[in-house]
Amino acid sequence: MSFTNLKTAALAAITLALFAGASPAHAYMGAGAGLSAIGSVLSFIGVVLLMIVGFVWYPVKRLLRRKRANAAMEDTGAE
């Protein structure tokens, strides 16, 4: 076993031991705080998805517009 694999295995064992030894918090989150937390997470996911769509959609839209303009110029015979 190489040193890198041994190091990775040791890190995984330490992480597992730390997670296994964690005690529960016994905390209560009320209905209002819970709904606020869920709304915040959902809005964050929505923002990330819209950001990805924006980064993909607008360049594709410009490419399609450019292709249509080139096709229209070829149809009219203009250069």
Convert the pLDDT of each residue in 21-34 to its tens digit: 878 778 888 889 99
Question: Are the C-beta atoms of residues 44 and 51 closer than 8 Å to each other?
Answer: no
Question: Are the C-beta atoms of residues 79 and 73 closer than 8 Å to each other?
Answer: yes
Residues 6+ apart with CB under 8 A from 29: 37
Domain that residue 57 falls in? 3-76
Residue 79 identity: E
Position 36 scores a pLDDT of: 95
How many structural domains does the chain have? 1
Question: Are the C-beta atoms of residues 37 and 29 closer than 8 Å to each other?
Answer: yes
User: What pTM was estimated for this model as a whole?
Assistant: 0.49
